[in-house]
Structure 1
């Protein structure tokens, strides 16, 4: 007799209290509102598509992520409701039929066979955890469930439940569970995975897959059997779910882009969700490349990498070190932001300015012989000299003397000015002016600076400021004109891949800093730029370290494992040609700086100077272009006749002994005018034709 009286009494009392609660719910709500403030969730750093890169646990040490139903596999939600609360959509917090069934099962079996709690009642238990199971606690959950139903929609109740439900250990909520048990977001789950997750919240510790895989498997079987009985799944689908493996270990949550995430968290400590422009897929690929490369290179060497979209400036991946937690490699230091000597990686911009000025073409002969420049005597990396070489060969072999010859011809200040236009300030010792040593790395830059400069080579001469936050405004500026940019990219694309690397449609340059402290490689296709640094973060020398042998293989491996499609390099713009040496103007067949020629002949004659149009002038001409355009008068002072004029790198007809000539623009836009005198000295201005 006593055996059945208790559950029947509990059911009657439950119904009575429920009826009373419904009658006076308004007063109850005012006096005893449920605690429905949104729960604290883990701080997230996510990629451009919302995929998790890094997370911080809640203050109480739980992994708990905010969830919306749109982010959860609908099959899981369907199975959850079918298993836990079939009448969830129709009841108002209490399912009296389920309570009655639970009571009768208790009477019949003498034990609890199934609970009568609704999902809303379970949510009430989660927001106000009880110390022990009792009739009073159950009644309190029922009252709270009714209150919750009056305040939240069904979707909001489900989302709150899926945020707080326990899944073993310190895992709370469906998203923490899928990341830890399956290494995936809850958007797409296998049937077996969904069934396991439906079963875990009832007994999360007893059914933890990593500790009790057998109990977890049996619980999953019960869920799948119930789904077949209720018609949610057919037998074949359930069998497929049974074949899914039960996870044997808990996975670590993502810890990607560690340095970028750390900086973002420091700069916005009050934000709970921070989004970066990084692509998780690309980031994972480059981190593997950096880690594997560092393991091959040695225990104290680190690797840093930055990959950016040349058109938008978005950083799609950045690796500050080979291993954030490796003390021997000083892994906590973000080497993408440390100022170091860039070696020969700036040479392409020197050649670009020389092309822009009309000083050289790809097949122009330039000397690679021991030379002194006002007391500065550069030497090649291998201490050997090639004699007469083409400009193309000089850049591809990264010969030092030819690069210094060109820089000496137009001056280091012009190069650093272009860098500033592109948003990059070269670091020099306090009070020191730019010198010729810049050509060989005698200046301080970061890896991010280099990648930003190289966006101009990948983007027809327009360099774009790079960054990893989506909302920041990115500035862009011309670093070289389009024709000069194409000439440089064309030469860099002809450099052979490093030993063992597959041929890829990329242009690249390497560099090694003085004393073998830093090895660099920066490359680009038609869309992305990837920069690689290798060295010791403490600045110690590494004998044998070089850009070509140490950094270039990582560059090619990085492009291959980034997962990004190869984009063809930009096509040659109008007027950009590879010209055979015999077809070059006489003044471009061999490069001789004006200073060299004058020193040889003992002539102290002023260099040419274009006096009209002046630098930066905006010239308004007739709207017609080509032969019908209004000619523009060009005037110069100084220099030794005859003179060769070039417009945008293309020579105007013939040599002239006069100091005035005329030019018909091809159309509106920026143009560069250059004059070369008999001694090879040059002067240039950039104007805008309207």
Structure 2
């Protein structure tokens, strides 16, 4: 009776003591460093925890070498998968050693008990502490699966200093993930957590080596490892220095940290292999170009819009080059890189063709007189050559025809953000770089050319909703294909091969920015070269500085260029001599000379770019709009937004019904195919 009563009292006391332990601190134990991984799960960058510790999440099945796990279980807990948190035989052995020797020789702790100790650290080893570990281990086993227990232990095991977990230790000491470990490395990682501070490789390498060798000896005794393999492993020297944690794609990682909250693992669309390759390329080229010159590179998958690599600077820690500033997102002058979209709108409007002839000659638009980069003029050239040579006068003439406001609106519609000087409207100068844009937006626009006229918002963080990334219209299919076909023939730099990559270069005013953007059927890559502070860099031009980097970047992707899409249905592919008469030679608005001596049609009213008030009178919603034409051979057909509305009368006039508020395109075509077009805004 007394024995039973004593048992009840002891049980009550023990139960009260267990209750006093409080809840299991699982939430704090599960805290890990935020890690940024690429599209394949490869580590790009990790961020230390708030207290400075490195503790990386671990999935034992996917992240850890089986050799290490075999040694760990054999050395620490060979009954891990069969016990309920406590190994009675191991505890009995430890108790016997305590009684016979008067002090603790081995703890008899299972991996689960060690995890309990890591959750609630105790400085001194005592019977009370051991009892606490036993109770906590049983709690852990009740609340977690064996796989979860192992993963958490592998994330929390101490390796000296601020290193916790096998991944942090393997990266810091071996410079690699623990997926593939040698026998020597695996034994070392098993040994270190037993006395992490006394076996730190950067402070006590000899002690660490001795501990590793003891693990190997034990494995030989237990028959886990052969004598020969153990001897070879012992001959391997141990590392003596810590390696830095990987910092790939630092700008992308920083942006992901700001964008995604409460997530320990953030997956990006980047490809770590390509990212490393392009970072090395940017670093090497920046050194060759000069101490203050920076390089930025952005690579995007055309089909998905996924960012595959982003190099914001050659060296994240280089203060001279403002390394922590992401130059792929910096607003800079684009030079001539917007010219393809001017030509694209001209092709779309149908008043010019890649094989049309166009004049490159001195011309003045009010007080503005554009000149070419080399201060010379080429005379009459095909439109194709004008774009490939990046001639300024033809580009400005075409921009004057399609309209700077329309170009700006179309680029913004396609997802690009253009920045103009305060209180300024888009003007002709934007065709030569008189506007601000980022490399990121330029690459998005050029990838739209590869996609035959539709841009897709770029994505860099996995898991973003695709419905928010619907394609945006840039150009009609035929016009986009024509631009790609023209740029494919641009003469490459010395390190490039012709007709493999469609590309364009640009140099901003004062040699402040050098650009080269190119694409094939698979990928679009953009390169920027310049000084981050915006100061001039004489001699830095798109063709000589940026284009060679672009072609090297394509070569280093490790894949052959993919052919561009075939011409869309309805594409007119013809030589100049076989083009319709109006397309053989471009003539600006107001040029009424026809090759056969007759006057070409010219819309005198309304004027191109004018605003027309079409509000009706006497209750009518709209009033008819007059159109007046000079020249042309009758009959002359009138089209509104591409739809015929009939012929002009003998006086070359006609009243047409207003198509409604907004922009309207009015076109006249005479009996010999000569045409004229104006765009007006109806309000």
The TM-score bracket by the shorter chain reads 0.7 to 0.9
CA contact (8 A) 1:63 1:170 kept: yes
Relative to structure 1, is the Cα distance of residues 159 and 388 closer, same or farther in structure 2, using a 3 angstrom cutoff?
A: same
Relative to structure 1, is the Cα distance of residues 606 and 68 closer, same or farther in structure 2, using a 3 angstrom cutoff?
A: same
2:603 to 600, 603, 606: 606
2:222 to 226, 230, 238: 230
CA distance in 2, matches of 1:26, 1:640: 106
Which residue pairs with 1:30 in the alignment?
19
After superposing the two structures, state which structure 1 stretch, 599-608 or 257-266, moved more: 599-608
Instruction: Give, in angstroms, the shift of residue 452 of structure 1.
Output: 1.5
CA distance in 2, matches of 1:243, 1:22: 54
Superposed counterparts of 1:622-637, under 5 Å: none
Instruction: Give, in angstroms, the shift of residue 150 of structure 1.
Output: 3.6
CA distance in 2, matches of 1:70, 1:348: 51
1:581 aligns with 2:576: yes
Q: CA-to-partner distance for each residue in 1:200-222, whole Å, 9 max, x for gaps?
A: 21122333334444443443343
1:500 aligns with 2:495: yes
1:606 partner SS: strand
Relative to structure 1, is the Cα distance of residues 55 and 118 closer, same or farther in structure 2, using a 3 angstrom cutoff?
A: same
2:297 partner SS: strand
Instruction: Give, in angstroms, the shift of residue 324 of structure 1.
Output: 2.2
CA contact (8 A) 2:590 2:602 kept: no
Which residue pairs with 1:294 in the alignment?
286
Instruction: Give, in angstroms, the shift of residue 409 of structure 1.
Output: 2.2
CA distance in 1, matches of 2:201, 2:8: 42
Which residue pairs with 2:63 in the alignment?
72
Which residue pairs with 1:464 in the alignment?
456
Runs of 5+ unmatched residues, structure 1: 1-17, 610-635, 661-671, 686-690
1:551 to 540, 543, 546: 546
1:513 aligns with 2:508: yes
CA contact (8 A) 2:504 2:517 kept: yes
CA distance in 2, matches of 1:204, 1:577: 74
Q: CA-to-partner distance for each residue in 1:499-524, whole Å, 9 max, x for gaps?
A: 23456822110000111111111111
CA distance in 1, matches of 2:104, 2:330: 65
CA distance in 2, matches of 1:520, 1:62: 42
2:407 to 408, 415, 425: 415
Which residue pairs with 1:15 in the alignment?
none
2:449 partner SS: helix
After superposing the two structures, state which structure 1 stretch, 232-241 or 557-566, moved more: 232-241
2:525 to 504, 522, 530: 530
1:314 aligns with 2:302: no
1:54 partner SS: strand
With normalisation by structure 2, the TM-score equals 0.82
Runs of 5+ unmatched residues, structure 2: 1-6, 607-626, 654-664
Q: CA-to-partner distance for each residue in 1:260-317, whole Å, 9 max, x for gaps?
A: 3223323445443333322222222222121111111111111122222222222222
2:320 partner SS: coil
CA distance in 2, matches of 1:311, 1:517: 32
CA distance in 2, matches of 1:340, 1:578: 36
Which residue pairs with 2:33 in the alignment?
42
Which residue pairs with 1:304 in the alignment?
296
Which residue pairs with 2:108 in the alignment?
116
Which residue pairs with 2:622 in the alignment?
none
Relative to structure 1, is the Cα distance of residues 603 and 501 closer, same or farther in structure 2, using a 3 angstrom cutoff?
A: closer
2:336 partner SS: helix
Relative to structure 1, is the Cα distance of residues 463 and 282 closer, same or farther in structure 2, using a 3 angstrom cutoff?
A: same
Relative to structure 1, is the Cα distance of residues 128 and 583 closer, same or farther in structure 2, using a 3 angstrom cutoff?
A: same
1:98 partner SS: helix
1:138 to 125, 130, 152: 130
After superposing the two structures, state which structure 1 stretch, 127-136 or 352-361, moved more: 127-136
CA distance in 1, matches of 2:649, 2:214: 98
Instruction: Give, in angstroms, the shift of residue 50 of structure 1.
Output: 2.9
CA distance in 2, matches of 1:241, 1:68: 26
Which residue pairs with 1:619 in the alignment?
none
Relative to structure 1, is the Cα distance of residues 445 and 645 closer, same or farther in structure 2, using a 3 angstrom cutoff?
A: farther
CA distance in 2, matches of 1:462, 1:424: 13
Relative to structure 1, is the Cα distance of residues 525 and 236 closer, same or farther in structure 2, using a 3 angstrom cutoff?
A: farther
Instruction: Give, in angstroms, the shift of residue 639 of structure 1.
Output: 6.6
Which residue pairs with 2:659 in the alignment?
none
Residues matched between the structures, number:
628
CA contact (8 A) 1:607 1:682 kept: no
Superposed counterparts of 1:175-190, under 5 Å: 175-190=167-182
2:138 partner SS: helix
After superposing the two structures, state which structure 1 stretch, 357-366 or 202-211, moved more: 202-211
Which residue pairs with 1:540 in the alignment?
535
Q: CA-to-partner distance for each residue in 1:442-495, whole Å, 9 max, x for gaps?
A: 111111121111121111111112232231421322211111111111111112
CA distance in 2, matches of 1:220, 1:504: 59
Relative to structure 1, is the Cα distance of residues 300 and 158 closer, same or farther in structure 2, using a 3 angstrom cutoff?
A: same
C-alpha RMSD of matched pairs (Å): 3.8
With normalisation by structure 1, the TM-score equals 0.81
Instruction: Give, in angstroms, the shift of residue 679 of structure 1.
Output: 5.7
CA distance in 1, matches of 2:183, 2:311: 36
